[in-house]
Structure 1
């Protein structure tokens, strides 16, 4: 009898330990994806929990897949779930410059219902797992010239209410949230919206963007001064709104933002310049080399890298392996829901950013 009890006790201990380990590793790795049905096969899909297909758009007020090519891609993404039971496929509406009709379309109860019904129809047809709203931005200016109005804020809440009631609990609902203070203050009724969504994908990148005439960290983990936007600043704000930590997803940038005509002061950081095209992470190790005139710097306060080319007077900011690991450690420490990134095709297919996140997740 004692022996049986001992075996039972040991079994409980082993089971508890393994359950605890699994709980500890509950950190979603979420990839935005604009590629086709073939490119995805080059990546380690088994390390991902969600792929967000980007982007669908509005057509006559309904969720629309833009082309037959996109339909093929979505169907292929869904087929990947057979080998990856943890994987969910989400459709995203909008994107930067992709939500021009949103303010108008979602301004009436009828418009919101038409859209919600179309989301259900499209989701059922493709057998996807949910919708990510990437409206940039309700109630504040996004792409210059796009309609935005104060009433977008309550309309966004009403849109999520009708989506949730139409889709039911089976489907996931998330939205891409601006990581900057004006959005956090003015775009969303956080208390009303939070119970309706599974997660909030904080775009904690482009915090210094293409419209800025001054350089800075575009995707820092921490602020280096009280006025500087950062991942931690956005997370701290949202936690204070009472949002459960597990619903918050922070963002990584698999690309740099670059400025030219930047004087060699403070290695180009916080200096005036002209924004120019950046570099994809998968190409960064061959571009940002000493042979090409680049020097690498690490801001230990921001937990962010930057690069400066003194000869060319060019400054670059983004994430690298060190900063993406720091962000993932932050997710674990704060017990957040996970980390998402823009976007998978900018990563190396092996030993890149996704692998760095996965290593921290599973250690």
Structure 2
């Protein structure tokens, strides 16, 4: 009897270890990438599960690679899979300002079918693993001047349907979603499209963006007030809709949003200012220094850093090692699908944000 119990116990341990390993595999580290075929070689690709080439665009209603240079880059990215069996390469359509014709092109069944067939053709040619749709945004205003219409919401659903039926189950299909409440409420039919896609990449950054005249956390993990946007606010909303946790991927920002003319009140947080160009994470160490007049602050409720320069009255917000580790812990605790980020060339090539995500992901 004791021997049988021991065997059963060992089998249980074995199964538990296998289940844990499988769950760990579900945590994907996903890099958006706008670089070329040379730059990618500087990074630790072995720590990534997906590279999303950014961006392809619409040309005559079809998925189009913009240039011979882009073609060379895509082919090289695909070649990296030989040494990295965990790696998948996706093409992304659109981006901020890159989907101007999308609303019109996807407004008819014929237009959607034309696009879906072109995606299959391009994917087969390059031997990529799938498509990420980065339409900013269906139904609501994105870049000023771009067409958006109420019908986009159902048209997006129909687009997902025809893409899945055309691509079959073999290809990955994901989309980048605004991480703010208006998008979550109005842009897409969540319950209809999520069974058809592998994941949604929640752009839980730029939540305070370049159009804002008031500073704030642009990529906080948690909201500090009921109305403040955050990673957790978006994730909680989608989980309550019944979206499977493993299909939710949260976003990290490898750059700061920055404002000038910010008064030294509350160390510049939640103050009026004028938005200016931010800084890439790879330049944090030489930019946000005490010698340059910067002070570092940590909002423990938001789990987000910020910087203020009293002498220049400048404020900055973004992700750093501490906040990206907090986001990674959050993904593990909620059993989400992983972390994506904008974008790989903004990171340091070693011991940066990707490495921080990977370390927390793989620790026991």
Q: TM-score range by the shorter chain?
A: over 0.9
Map 1:275-314; keep pairs closer than 5 Å.
Answer: 275-314=275-314
Q: Which residue of 1 aligns with 2:160?
A: 160
CA deviations 1:204-227 (Å, max 9, x no partner) are 000000000000000000000001
Pair 1:299–1:162, CA change in 2 (3 A): same
Gaps of 5+ in 2: none
Q: Which residue of 2 aligns with 1:55?
A: 55
Q: Which residue of 1 aligns with 2:75?
A: 75
Shift of 1:14: 6.4
Q: Which residue of 1 aligns with 2:143?
A: 143
Q: Residues of 2 paired with 1:236 and 1:21: CA distance? A: 24
Pair 1:7–1:126, CA change in 2 (3 A): farther
Map 1:236-315; keep pairs closer than 5 Å.
Answer: 236-315=236-315
Shift of 1:281: 0.2
Q: Secondary structure at the match of 1:339?
A: strand
Map 1:154-233; keep pairs closer than 5 Å.
Answer: 154-233=154-233
CA deviations 1:175-196 (Å, max 9, x no partner) are 0000001100110011111111
Map 1:86-125; keep pairs closer than 5 Å.
Answer: 86-125=86-125
Gaps of 5+ in 1: none
Q: Which residue of 1 aligns with 2:325?
A: 325
Q: Does 1:20 align with 2:15?
A: no
Q: Residues of 1 paired with 2:307 and 2:336: CA distance? A: 29
CA deviations 1:140-175 (Å, max 9, x no partner) are 000000000000000000000000000000001000
Q: Residues of 1 paired with 2:9 and 2:126: CA distance? A: 45
CA deviations 1:278-300 (Å, max 9, x no partner) are 00000001100001000000000
CA deviations 1:228-270 (Å, max 9, x no partner) are 0000000011111110000000000000000000000000000
Q: Residues of 2 paired with 1:361 and 1:130: CA distance? A: 24
Shift of 1:17: 5.0
Shift of 1:9: 6.5
CA deviations 1:284-343 (Å, max 9, x no partner) are 011000010000000000000000000000000000000000000000011100000000
Shift of 1:13: 5.8
Pair 1:7–1:266, CA change in 2 (3 A): closer
Q: Secondary structure at the match of 1:25?
A: helix
Q: Which residue of 2 aligns with 1:65?
A: 65
Q: Residues of 1 paired with 2:346 and 2:44: CA distance? A: 14
Q: Residues of 1 paired with 2:272 and 2:324: CA distance? A: 27
Q: Secondary structure at the match of 2:341?
A: strand
Which segments of structure 1 move beyond 4 Å, counting only runs of 4 or more?
A: 5-11
Q: Secondary structure at the match of 1:351?
A: coil
Pair 1:104–1:221, CA change in 2 (3 A): same
Q: Residues of 1 paired with 2:66 and 2:18: CA distance? A: 43
Q: Secondary structure at the match of 1:143?
A: coil
Shift of 1:25: 1.6
Q: Residues of 2 paired with 1:10 and 1:58: CA distance? A: 57
Q: TM-score, normalised by structure 2?
A: 0.97
